[in-house]
Amino acid sequence: MKPIRTERLILRNWQERDRDLFHRINSDEQVMEFFGMRRSRAESDELFDRLAAGVERDGFGFAAAEIAVSGECIGFVGILRTDLAPFIPKGTMEIGWRLAPEFWGKGFVTEAAEAWLAHAFEVIGDDEVVSFAVSNNNRSTAVMQRLGMQPDPSRDFDHPRVPDTHPELKRHVFYSLTKDQWQERKKAAI
């Protein structure tokens, strides 16, 4: 993928030097609070390889977010095609993120996600981008709201990949943003 630059970040494909951070965010109790598992190093490396290959193939994905001035990888922010049928049709563009805790609360996710929304709507040409989170994951839903995404309770769902051993993590709230809504939001900001 061609890197995307924002005011403070470079959004790019994964590099070997990012593996340790990637494992840390996928095994950290705080980061993974709303996920039913913590990934081992082997599981994390497998996901890392899969995401990197997808970014390379598609030119987008859950890509590394790097602080431009330091070159430090802080986690990922990106878009990818999802398939959670029947809840979300195959090919729907999802936006998602996961950062190391020391980078929370600094506006990095919102900054990167704004760039990815522009990429989804202007470069790829999608008409809608969606996001979803465990219903009480207020940090993620706050980002969705800052991005102008709208909740759609009629599309909330019990995540089929969350095991029954974690019923508190099954219910997911659904947010979406259409290209028209995004364009209106951009006009209003001028």
pLDDT in tens, 115-128: 999 999 999 999 99
- Beta strands 88-99 and 128-134 are parallel
Chain-centre distance for alpha carbon 40: 21
- Beta strands 171-178 and 150-151 are antiparallel
pTM score of the predicted model: 0.96
Residue that the structure tokens 């508190």 belong to? 168
Give the integer Cα–Cα distance in Å for 16 and 173: 34
Query: With contact defined as beta carbons under 8 Å apart, do 65 and 21 qualify?
Result: no
pLDDT at 57: 95
Percent of the chain at pLDDT > 90 equals: 96
Domain boundaries, the chain: 4-189
Query: With contact defined as beta carbons under 8 Å apart, do 92 and 82 qualify?
Result: yes
Position 190 pLDDT exceeds 90: no
pLDDT in tens, 45-63: 999 999 999 999 999 999 9
For domain 4-189, the CATH superfamily is: Gcn5-related N-acetyltransferase (GNAT) (3.40.630.30)
DSSP lists the bridge partners of residue 66 as 10, 73
Mean pLDDT of the chain: 97
Phi/psi of residue 107, each to 5°? 80, 10
pLDDT at 131: 98
pLDDT at 136: 96
Position 83 pLDDT exceeds 90: no
The residues near 36 (Cβ < 8 Å, ≥ 6 apart) are 162, 163, 165, 166, 169
Angle in degrees, 0-180, between the axes of helices 108-118 and 138-146, rounded to the nearest 10: 50
Position 168 pLDDT exceeds 90: yes
Q: pLDDT band at residue 189, thresholds of 50, 70 and 90?
A: confident
